[in-house]
C-alpha cells in the first residue's frame, strides 16, 4: 500500500469512515484498481456495506492532501450491485480486478460473502457490462453512425465504455489509449485514438447484440449465489 493510503488510514477521516458494523469490505477502486492511474488520478475508495439504500450524492465525500491528491469514498450497499437501477455500474465492472493488493479492510463476519465475491466477480462484472451498454446505447449508436466524435460526446464515460469493451471481449486493454481517452473532456485526442474509440464501441455493441442475455435474470441468480437471498 502506498504512503498516501497509509497516511489516510491513520487519519480521523478513516476512523469516521469505518465507524459502522455492517461494513463488508473496503477497497480501492477507480483507475487504481484497473492499473490506469496517471499523475492526475485521485483515490476512489469503495465501502461495501450490508445494509442501507444507495445514495449517490450524500454518500460521496472527499478529502485532499496538499491540495493535489484527492481521496474520495463511496458507500455502496452490496445489494445494489445486483440491480440495473443505480449508478454503480462502473464500480461493479471494475470489481473483476479485486485482489488483496487493493483491499484496505475485510470484515471477518462476512468471510463467506467476500469469498463468493471473489468466486463470481468476473461473472458479475460481465453482466453489468451488458447493463452499462444499455444505459448508453443511443450515444454509442450515434457515434458509430456518425463515424466521428462530436464534442457533445466528450465525456469520461467514453473511457469507461471502451474499457468495458476490452473486458467483455477478453482483449488486453491498450493502456496508453485509455489514459488519453479518460481526459478527452479536457484534452482532445488524436485522430488515431478517435478512430480506435469508434472501433472499440462497435466491437462492444456488436458483441452484446450477438450474445444476448437476460440481465435481470442473471443478476438475480448471482444475488442468490452470493447473498443467499
CA distance 226 to 184: 37
What per-residue confidence (pLDDT) applies to 60? 44
pLDDT of the chain along its 229 residues, tens only?
Answer: 577 788 878 887 788 777 788 999 999 999 999 999 988 888 888 989 997 655 443 344 555 555 567 788 888 889 889 998 767 788 899 999 999 999 999 999 999 999 999 999 999 999 999 999 999 999 999 999 999 999 999 999 999 999 999 999 999 999 999 999 999 988 899 999 999 999 999 999 999 999 999 999 999 999 999 998 7
Predicted pLDDT of residue 197: 98
pLDDT at res. 56: 44
**Strands 69-77 and 43-49, bridge-based pairing:** parallel
pLDDT at position 149 is 95
pLDDT given at position 225: 95
Domains and CATH numbers, the chain: 3-124 (3.30.460.10), 134-210 (no CATH)
Look up cell 469503495; give the residue: 46
Sequential DSSP letters for the chain: --HHHHHHHTSHHHHHHT-STTEEEEEEETHHHHT---TT--EEEEEEESSS---TTTTEEEEEETTTEEEEEEEEEGGGGG-SSSS-HHHHHHGGG--GGGEEEE-GGGHHHHHHHHHHHHHHHHHHHHHHHHHTHHHHHHHHHHTS--GGG-SHHHHHHHHHHHHHTTPPP-HHHHHHHHTTTTSPPPHHHHHHHHHHHHHHHHHHHHS---HHHHHHHHHHHHH--
Per DSSP, what are the bridge partners of residue 46? 27, 74
Amino acid at each position: 500500500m502506498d504512503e498516501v493510503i497509509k497516511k489516510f488510514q491513520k487519519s480521523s477521516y478513516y476512523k469516521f469512515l469505518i465507524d459502522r458494523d455492517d461494513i463488508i469490505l473496503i477497497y480501492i477502486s477507480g483507475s487504481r484498481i484497473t492499473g490506469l492511474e496517471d499523475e492526475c488520478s485521485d483515490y476512489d475508495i469503495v465501502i461495501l456495506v450490508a445494509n442501507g439504500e444507495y445514495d449517490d450524492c450524500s454518500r460521496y465525500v472527499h478529502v485532499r492532501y496538499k491540495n493535489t491528491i484527492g481521496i474520495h469514498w463511496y458507500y455502496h450497499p452490496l445489494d445494489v450491485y445486483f440491480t440495473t437501477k443505480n449508478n454503480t455500474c462502473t464500480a461493479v465492472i471494475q470489481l473483476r480486478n479485486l485482489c488483496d493488493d487493493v483491499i484496505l479492510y475485510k470484515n471477518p463476519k462476512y468471510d463467506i460473502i467476500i469469498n463468493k465475491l471473489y468466486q463470481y466477480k468476473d461473472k458479475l462484472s460481465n453482466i453489468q457490462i451488458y447493463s452499462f451498454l444499455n444505459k448508453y446505447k443511443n450515444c454509442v449508436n450515434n457515434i458509430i453512425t456518425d463515424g466521428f466524435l462530436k464534442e457533445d460526446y466528450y465525456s469520461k464515460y467514453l473511457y469507461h465504455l471502451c474499457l468495458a469493451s476490452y473486458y467483455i471481449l477478453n482483449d488486453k486493454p491498450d493502456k496508453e489509449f485509455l489514459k488519453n481517452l479518460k481526459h478527452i473532456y479536457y484534452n482532445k485526442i488524436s485522430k488515431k485514438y478517435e478512430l480506435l474509440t469508434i472501433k472499440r464501441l462497435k466491437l462492444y455493441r456488436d458483441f452484446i447484440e450477438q450474445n444476448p442475455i437476460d440481465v435481470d435474470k442473471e443478476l438475480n441468480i448471482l444475488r442468490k449465489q452470493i447473498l443467499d437471498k
